[in-house]
Structure formats: C-alpha cells, structure tokens
Amino acid sequence: MKAIVQDRYGSSDVLELREVDKPVPAGHEVLVRVHAATVNARDWHVMRGDPYLARLSLGLGRPKAKIRGTDFAGRVEAVGKDVKRFHPGDEVYGEADGAFAEYVCASQDVVDTKPAGLTFEQAAAVPLAGNTALMGLRDQVRVQPGQQVLVNGASGGVGTFAVQIAKAFGAEVTGVCSTRNVELVKSLGADYVIDYTSEDFTRNGRRYDVVFDLVGNRSLSELRGALTPAGTLVLSGGGVSDGGSFLGPIGLIFKGQALSRFVRHRLLVLTAKPRSENLAALRELAQSGKVRPVIDRTYPLSEAPEAIRYLEMEHARAKVVITV
C-alpha cells in the first residue's frame, strides 16, 4: 500500500510517499480502508520532533512511528478475532497512528460508526479536534447553560469545535481569532468575536467563567486576568509555535500545573485521549446539526507534505484534509 513515511526529524521534506506492507489487524483491531485523513498540529510536531522534550516519547533520534497521520474515516476491510462491534463494509471514523496511508489498523476502542450525513472528508476532520474540545468542555469544565466561555484560537481545528460544543451546552461564547476568520467564527454560533489584531481580550475588562486556551502564546497572569474570581482556565498545549524549542507550549502547561495549587482559579491541563464513547457523542452532535466540521483545504495523499507545510506556515483555519 502507499503511505507517507518519515525516517528522520525535519521539515516536510523528510516525508516520502512509499510502498509499504499492508498492516494486519490484531485480535482487538479493525483494518480500515482509508478514504480521508486529517492534518493536525500533532503531525508537524512529530515530523520536526518539536519540542525537543517530546522526543522522550516520540523517539530520541528518529520517530518510533514511521507513518504520519492520526485522524481517519473509511470502510472496514477486515476485523480481528476479538472484534464484535464492527464488520467488513462498515463506515467508520477514529484515531490511530499511521492514517496517512491507504490502510490503517486501529483498536476498536478508538473507532466508531461514521456520522450519518457527513462525507468521509468531513468525518475525518472530527476525531482528534472534536475529542479535545469535548473533553475540555464537558469532562473537565462541565460547562453549564449561561456560563461565559472564551475560546482563544476559535478558528483553529479544536477551536471551531469548541465554539460549537460550548454553544450546544448552553454557554455564551466569545471566540478570539484574526480578522480574516471573524465571519467564520460568527457562523459557528459565537455570541461575540474578538479580533486579536485590534483588541486584547486580557485587557478589555470583560471576565469569563471559562477561558479555553488553544494557542499557548499568552502568559498565565494574562490568561487569569480574563477570568472571574472563581473562573476556570483550561490549557491545551497550543497549536503552532516557534520550532526548535526545548519545551514549546509545554512550558506554559508546566507552569499552570505548578501554580494551580496556590491560586483560587481552577487551572486545568487537558490531556485528550481517544475513546469510542466520545466519538459516539460527537456523532450525535453532528447528526443533530449542533456541530459541523469546517474544512479549509483538501490535498491528495501524495501532497501530504505540502498539506502539513500549509498548516504549519500559513495559519490554516479549521481543518486540512488528506483524500486517499
């Protein structure tokens, strides 16, 4: 099968389209014929091995996982002997390493039925970003109707889902984005949109019950300054940062963890993990019309390196999709 393979850390030039062996599903896995996959900030972080601290888990000298990509949507080709939930021909979506390929194996615990009414491209845009937004707002914050929620990075992959999910839970939502994305964020249901090129949400005097930071470019004191006295700050690492750093956005997370025990504000660090139950919840939100994926651009599999470069360098809005 064809796949996007990486042997060393570096720019998108290290990615190559190659013929590799088709994977064989283990007992608890499904083999999926990939129809679409999605580019995430995680892909270029792994590609570059950035921040350097992450190489302790990614691989010190070279990446352990050779095939890039995580989100996918497609049809089940085969199932392992212990799989009961899925059968060949089922349309599914989920998360697994190696999604930039014609086939991918994934545990049945991180796969769910594709939302009805969504194309494969739209469905592939949901898993990682949608799950991150869902776990941050539903599981960690437990957003309630009427709460004031600010999403910093509202036009990004996670941000577009966070705005919609917060609205679905009944919150009053403020999105922060650049000038060119103001109308997009409004269209997703945000009650207020702040253009960060002309207004600083940490200095405008408004206070929020929840600040969901998806950028990682503001200090903790600035972010806390935008909170109500009993407000909650959720840190989710950030998207694209300057390359070659030792800690990158992880540094802000470390500071948040250290400070959380000494301040009245709740400072939460989000670590999103893929779960089929969360994919089922996202499927229901999508089928009810409360959440819709937003796609910026699509690229064929052979142009996956260019897709990652676009996400990294051009500040893509929402999701960038790979068609297979």
Spelled out in words, what is the top-level CATH class assigned to the domain 129-269? Answer: alpha beta
Characterize 288-318 residue by residue with b for buried, 16 or more Cβ atoms within 10 angstroms of its Cβ, and e for exposed: eeebbbbbbbebebebbbebbbbbbeeebbb
The two tokens of residue 224 are 């806390």
pLDDT tens-digit profile of 178-224? 999 999 999 999 999 999 999 999 999 999 999 999 998 888 899 99
Residue 153 has pLDDT above 90, yes or no: yes
Whether the CB-CB separation of 304 and 100 falls below 8 Å is answered with: yes
pLDDT tens-digit profile of 110-141? 999 999 999 999 999 999 999 999 999 999 99
Query: Which of 240, 285, 297, 311 lies closest to 131, judged by CA?
Result: 285
Query: Residue 187 belongs to what H/E stretch?
Result: helix 182-187
State the pairing for strand pair 103-107/266-269.
Answer: unpaired
Residue 41 has pLDDT above 80, yes or no: yes
Q: Domain spans of the chain?
A: 2-125+293-323, 129-269
Distances (CA, A) of 120 to 117, 124, 283: 10, 6, 13
Assign 172 a pLDDT band (cuts: 50, 70, 90): very high
Type of residue at 323: T
- Architecture per CATH, domain 2-125+293-323, reads as Alpha-Beta Complex (3.90)
2-125+293-323 shares its CATH topology with 129-269: yes
- What is the C-alpha separation between 190 and 154, in angstroms, rounded? 9
Place of tokens 């969901």: 212
Q: Who contacts 299 (Cβ-Cβ below 8 Å, separation ≥6)?
A: 306, 307, 310, 320, 321, 322, 323
Query: Which of 29, 118, 30, 111 lies closest to 70, judged by CA?
Result: 111
- For residue 184, the SS3 value is helix
